[in-house]
Amino acid sequence: MNAPNASAMNPQLLFILIISVLVVSFLIDKWIDHLNARHFDDEIPESLKDVYKEKEYLKSQAYKKENYRFSLITSTFSIVVTLCFFLFKGFAWVDGIARSLGNNEVIITLIFFGIIMLGSDVINTPFSYYRTFVIEEKYGFNKSSKRLFFTDKLKGWVLSIILGGAILAIILWFYNKTGDQFWIYTWIFIGLFTVFMTLFYSSLIVPLFNKQTPLEEGALESAIHDFARKAGFDLQNIYVIDGSKRSTKANAYFSGFGSRKRIVLYDTLIDDLDTEEIVAVLAHEIGHYKKKHVLVNMIMSLLLTGITLYVFSLFIGNRILSEALSVSIPSFHIGLITFGILYSPISELTGILMNYISRRFEYQADDYAQKNYNGEALISSLKKLSGKSLSNLTPHKLNVFVHYSHPTLLQRVSNLKVKN
């Protein structure tokens, strides 16, 4: 398989196309954010007026507006830095450093991405710090200490170096050994890795950042097991995670499958909801399993990954991908950067499709919880969680269509009430 003919393309035109994609994507995102912000002060729908008391509603309005302003500042700073990096040949500069330190393409690529990712994270850390210790602190969400914040950063860097570096090295080995057929082996490897992480993420990765303890015997544990038995859902592992050491926001999730299925409840969820509401939330999650949503999502994700890798394999050998970024020596890492940006509009479209399917799945899981457990308890839990997190109850429809993986609270409540 030959790469597309480079002589038919112009590096300068490709560079202009890259800059255009970055700028247009930024402007579209900011336009959608602006439309969404214009609806912050919309009247709350009648069915959701019990989510907030007047004081909490005013607090939620202030929280939304402050996050919007801060997001506008950070995203504008990010696009300016990114454009400067492109315009002043930053990738060629980093490529030169990597080549001066490495003696083969694998090492050079690892050094290159290491510098890019570390530099990006260092630049973004002050913004992350401000969001955590100023905005989240101001509105009563942050429980993290400064020591924990920076410890998490260091752990994340180490994990990225070890795990990310190993994955990248394996993909590069496939590329060096098989050329443009590397996408097949990479696709298989990513599939196997995805299954592995689905099975072992909670037992291998989560303990690096949080403590998980088995749920104590009592009314909640009995209620969960009783419902699981009635639903024909084999469940042995129920854990509580200490999410409260970082934030007051609540969550719960399932991980694994087969004998490694486990429910993980944030301690904040147990504090915020009563037993019936928690079981309703878990009934929703069990609905995802019963409807095969986890399997379908995994298959769709792998199919999209395979298509992306195949298209990438058609272009990776083309010198123009490197020349467009003023890099004279064609390489996997520069080609990946260029392709990633050029492919991003397609990724946005597939992301919108995946979000649409995800919202359909959420309705189905809600319906399962209502039919097999208690729809009113699920409505109550959704309202409480939205209120506790100061959620936006009146998002713009376009923002929902593009960015939301879940229906809005109003849509979910309306759906549950219609079928009650």
Nearest to 379 by CA among 339, 347, 343, 420: 420
pLDDT band at 146 (very low <50, low <70, confident <90, very high): very high
Query: Contact, 134 vs 74, CB < 8 A?
Result: no
Is 285 one of the catalytic residues? yes
Asked if 381 and 276 touch (Cβ cutoff 8 Å), the reply is no
Residues of the chain with pLDDT > 90, as a percent, come to: 82
Task: For residue 239, report the phi and psi dihedrals to the nearest 5 degrees.
Answer: -120, 155
Listed in sequence order, the residues at least 6 apart from 143 whose beta carbon sits closer than 8 Å to its beta carbon are 244, 245, 246, 247, 248
Q: What is the DSSP letter of 44?
A: P
Backbone angles phi, psi at 253, to 5 degrees: -155, 160
Instruction: Tell me the per-residue pLDDT of 239-280, one tens digit each, with 9 for 90 and over.
Output: 999 999 999 998 888 887 777 788 899 999 999 999 999 999
- Residue 358: count other Cβ atoms within 10 Å of its Cβ: 16
**Tokens at 5, concatenated:** 């003919």
Among 5-19, 140-154, 317-331, 366-380, which is the least confidently predicted range? 5-19
For residue 9, give the 3-state DSSP assignment: coil
> For residue range 186-195, what is the model confidence (pLDDT) as tens digits?
999 999 999 9
Measure the N-to-C terminal CA separation of the chain; round to a whole number of Å: 57
- Kindly tell me the burial class for residue 116, based on how many C-beta atoms sit within 10 Å of its own C-beta (0-12, 13-18, 19 or more): middle
Pairing assessment for the beta strands 262-266 and 237-241 based on DSSP bridges: parallel
pLDDT in tens, 378-400: 999 999 999 999 999 999 999 99
- The pTM of this model reads 0.90
DSSP 8-state assignment for residue 206: G
Contacts of range 134-138, beta carbons closer than 8 Å, 24 or more positions apart = 135/63, 135/66, 135/67, 135/70, 136/247, 138/66
Contact 382, 411 (CB under 8 A): no
Give the Cα separation of 271 and 274 in Å (integer): 8
Q: Could you list the beta-strand ranges (E) of 204-258.
A: 212-214, 237-241, 252-255
d(CA 418, CA 413): 9
Retrieve residue 230's tokens: 């009635």
- What is the per-residue pLDDT across 5-39, written as a single tens digit (0 to 9) for each? 544 568 999 999 999 999 999 999 999 999 999 99
Going by the DSSP 8-state scheme, the letter that residue 260 receives in this structure is G
CATH architecture of 212-282: 2-Layer Sandwich (3.30)
Alpha helices by DSSP H, listed for 373-393, are: 375-388
Query: Which residue out of 43, 66, 136, 285 is catalytically annotated?
Result: 285
Q: Report the pLDDT value the prediction gives residue 15, as an integer from 0 to 100.
A: 94
Domain locations in the chain as residue ranges: 11-39+46-202+290-418, 212-282
